[in-house]
Chain A
Amino acid sequence: MKNGIKRTKETLHEALSGQTGRPLYSREALDAIRRGFDQWMETVVREADRDHWRKTPHTVLGSDAPRELLYTPLSDPDFDYERDLGNAGEPPFTRGIHANMYRGREFTMRQLTGFGSPEQTNERLKFMLDHGATGLNILFDLPTIQMYDSDDPFAVGQVGMSGVCVDSVEDMARLFKDVPLDEVTISIVTHYPSNTAILFPMFLALAEERGIPWENLKGSVQNDITLEELIRSGSEYIPPKDCFRIQCDNIEFIRKHVPKWNFVTLNGYNLREFGTSAITEMAVAVLNGMEILEELVRRGYEVDSVADRLAFFWSAANDFFEEVARIRAVRRLWYKIVKYRFHAQNPRAMLMRCHVQTSGVCLIQEEPRNNIIRSAYHALAAVLGGAQSLHVDSYDEAYSVPTEEAALLSLRTQQILQKETGVTEVVDPLGGSFYVEALTREIENRILEEIDEIEALGGYVKAIEGGQVYEKVATYFSDQQRLIEAGEIPVVGQNVYRSAAQGPPIDVFQYPEGVEERQKDRLQKLRLNRDNDKVQTTLNALKDACQKGKNILPYSVACARARCTEGELFKVFKDAFGLWKPPALF
């Protein structure tokens, strides 16, 4: 955010304060309710409850927003149905982005999959599709995420652990063998802008080799600076401003050439799981979204043509109603921002679409089967909040990557919600609840306050460089740890109702062995058999594009076609941009 630009809070305040509302409750009704309420408070409510009318629930990853004992129309006397809620699929979209929500389209059941060799993950993908999964989420191993080849010294001992290894377009082909790329929606969990610019071109080159036009591909990449520069712990970082530029290069290229593909997943999830509050999670992702819109407008794009494909990614944690309210709140806030700050015209551009994953940090090792219950509540909150797609964490994730049995149980949790509980029949079933509406408003205000704080520091990218966001997160998670250890955040089986017997042991996924050796052999063969002159030419052209400020994607696609490896491309980025040292947290 450049100097001189009005801050978001102020902009919204000015745009909205002039609007005359139509409050739902008449003065007369409110007066009568007030009289009855005061009398009830005096005569019925016990003194102890009166004294502690507002109480702050301490929950894992919660907002610490205080709650009243009972909510009434008096909690939000100016409540205006059209202004604050509207019908589903209509501004301000509090009730959902579609008029018919889940009756029209069921939430996509997306489970993360990835471990071992590309062939091993391919087997699991087919298993999930055979059992009714409607989307695929591909998770990579650490060397792939961190952009090192499987034979790099940095990769030793980590190839194929906790994700699948992909070094080149040839591994991409093994990973998606027999998977119809144009029929399933595929979420490629690339995490960072840098590895999105490396791995997604491999996917595009594969589609090309199979004769599938890019226009037919449907899915998403993460492509998020928060993951690369803030959450990540790694050995080498490129500077935040260059990372932000790659993020926008990815968006620009995908928008133009892969029109059905979601080019960024504004990630709140991983930041929250790293250890931040229900509020900061959303403030940060919204800020990133705003800076992306600003940059793409600067590059000459209409705000509508970019905003209509932005997607968000949220975590669902323990405080049930807060989780429902949060999704509703940020949907309304995002609408206001895109409309009043960016002056978008197309209502589709104002929609906050989101994928929700249940919280992994809320799952614990003690009595692991309890985690099934936790995740089911998280999932229910996400659905009541109106999420577009869902991943349910598996109960064994406090130990390892899920076993096949645990992964299936997660999928079943979703299917039971969708088919048995009836919760998808009615749109926004909690809308109009005095409590949920008051909480939605409170959370929206808090998110806007935190956005304002970071804008005051010069904007999001600046606040990453300056270390202030990092500091905020670290303070929050240290406090959470202290509260859990002090028993102030109750965790069943850990600090309350702790039982001596741990129950029968569970099966834990065993990481496959031998993947590293096989992958090293493959790389060696690849390097012998490809046209190495072409490899060098395409890598040089990429470096040139990095340095001259051209969109790098056409060049990284050329690299993928030439069978360059991931590590080779990352090296180009490091050479072109130099390395950055993140602020020391400790």
Chain B
Amino acid sequence: MTKKIKVLLAKLGLDVHNRGIITVAKALSRAGMEVVYLGNALPAEIVSVAIQEDADVVGVSSLGGAHISLGSLLLKEAEERGLKDKMAFVMGGVFAPSDGERLKDMGFDGVFVPGATSEQIVSGIQNLA
């Protein structure tokens, strides 16, 4: 009866740093989840693919400073297309601790900062799905 958790991962916008998200993609798939890695994409595309793939969780990565600007666009897009209650949205990357709080206040269901272990990310996502 247990359906595989399906996670859509994407680099938010033009950010070039993809080591983290590839590491996470591998860890999630090792933990038995189905992972779709979109590469670099803007919020509208991420949301369209999330609907198409019927993902349980959408994870985005930002290390280039656009976590707030593009993060809020992503949530707005998800809200408008009625996804916010159907899927969990998580963000990982490099940003100030206060911004991590701000992302949660904005509506992200999970926020992962550098130092988060694969185990923490896997269990965090399992709990959200």
In whole angstroms, what is the CA distance A509 to B65 when docked? 10
Residue pair B65, A155 in contact (C-beta under 8 Å): no
Interface residues of A, count at CB 8 A: 42
Interchain CA distance A233-B38 in the complex, whole Å: 11
Which A186-236 residues sit within 8 Å CB-CB of chain B?
A: 231-235
Q: A161-B66, A275-B19, A474-B22 are in contact. Are A155 and B14 (CB under 8 A)?
A: yes
Measured between alpha carbons, how far is A154 from B17 in the docked complex, in Å?
Answer: 16
**Contact status B70-A157, CB under 8 Å:** yes
Cα distance A506–B78 in the bound complex, in angstroms: 34
A477 is an interface residue with CB less than 8 A from chain B: yes
CB distance A365 to B113 under 8 Å?
A: yes
State whether B15 touches A366 (Cβ < 8 A): no
Q: What sequence of 0s and 1s flags, for each residue 8-32 of chain B, a beta carbon within 8 Å of any chain A beta carbon?
A: 0001011111110011011001000
Asked if A158 and B14 sit within 8 Å, CB to CB, the answer is yes
Q: Which residues of B contact A162 (CB under 8 A)?
A: 64-65
Smallest CB separation, A461 vs chain B (Å): 20
Q: Which residues of A contact B11 (CB under 8 A)?
A: 233
Q: Are A508 and B42 also in contact (CB < 8 A) when A158-B13, A586-B22, A586-B37 are?
A: no
Question: For residue A234, which residue of chain B has the nearest CB?
Answer: B40
Which of A102-110, A343-351, A394-402 lies at the binding interface?
A394-402
Interface residues of A in 342-384 (CB under 8 A from B): 364-366
Chain B 29-73 interface mask (CB, 8 Å, partner A; 1/0): 100000101011110000000000000000000001110011001
Of B17, B25, B69, B114, the residue contacting A365 (CB under 8 A) is: B114
Chain B contact-residue range equals 35 or more
Q: Is A143 interfacial (CB 8 A cutoff)?
A: yes
A142, A401, A474: residue with the most chain B Cβ atoms closer than 10 Å? A142
Interface segment, one of A121-129, A145-153, A286-294: A145-153
Asked if B96 CB lies within 8 Å of chain A CBs, one says: yes
A 460-496 binary contact with B (CB < 8 Å = 1; else 0) = 0000000000000010011001100100000000100
Any A CB within 8 A of the CB of B94 = yes
Taken together as a complex, chains A and B put the C-alpha atoms of A233 and B13 apart, in Å, by 10
Bound-state Cα–Cα, A485 to B122, Å: 13
- Decide: B40 and A233 in contact? CB cutoff 8 A: yes
- Report the Cα distance A208→B124, complex, angstroms: 56
- A274: interface (CB < 8 Å): yes
Q: Which A residues are in CB contact (< 8 Å) with B127?
A: none
Chain A, Cβ-Cβ closest to B41: A235
28 contacts between A and B (CB under 8 A): A142-B13, A142-B16, A142-B65, A142-B66, A145-B14, A146-B14, A156-B42, A156-B69, A156-B73, A157-B69, A157-B73, A158-B14, A158-B15, A158-B65, A231-B16, A234-B16, A235-B14, A235-B41, A399-B95, A400-B94, A474-B22, A481-B23, A482-B118, A485-B119, A494-B115, A505-B97, A510-B96, A585-B18
Residues in B lying within 8 Å of A, measured CB to CB: 11, 13-19, 22-23, 25-26, 29, 35, 37, 39-42, 64-66, 69-70, 73, 94-98, 113-115, 117-119
Which A-B residue pairs are the 6 nearest by beta carbons? A157-B69, A161-B65, A233-B18, A508-B96, A142-B14, A162-B65
What 5 additional pairs, Cβ within 8 angstroms, besides A509-B96, A586-B22? A153-B42, A156-B70, A478-B26, A494-B115, A585-B18
